[in-house]
Amino acid sequence: MSLRATCEHLFGDGHRCGSPALSGDTHCYYHHRYKRTAAFGDPAYSLPPTDERHGLKTFIADILRDTTTGRIEPRLARTLLWGARMAQGVIREIEKQERQENAKP
């Protein structure tokens, strides 16, 4: 019996994903797409899943840090932060709908 590695992605509330990890990787298919990768020494960014407020906060902090240290250009940072703002709006709408559904008798 062989044990299969599980995804190491941490959700905002601290629990791990637990889905099977890709062969030779530490993340599942879904979270592999969202982890930060490096290409030719420059960071590549992709928005985290829109259901994770904690991931979005980390994403924004990474952009701000990398802009102030000169790792990414301010123009790219503006575009990335605009996308993060749109994602925040999606999160708010999802949470609002969930609260309304939970409040129904």
What residues does each domain of the chain span?
A: 1-34, 36-103
Q: What is the pLDDT of residues 82-94, one digit of tens each?
A: 988 888 888 888 8
DSSP β-bridge partners for residue 20: 6
**How high is the pLDDT of residue 33?**
66
Determine the pLDDT at residue 50. Answer: 57
What pLDDT score was predicted for residue 23?
87
pTM of the model: 0.53
pLDDT in tens, 25-63: 888 887 776 554 433 344 456 666 656 677 788 788 888
Q: Identify whether the C-beta of residue 50 lies closer than 8 Å to the C-beta of residue 94.
A: yes
How do residues 69-83 score in pLDDT, each as one tens digit?
Answer: 888 888 888 988 998
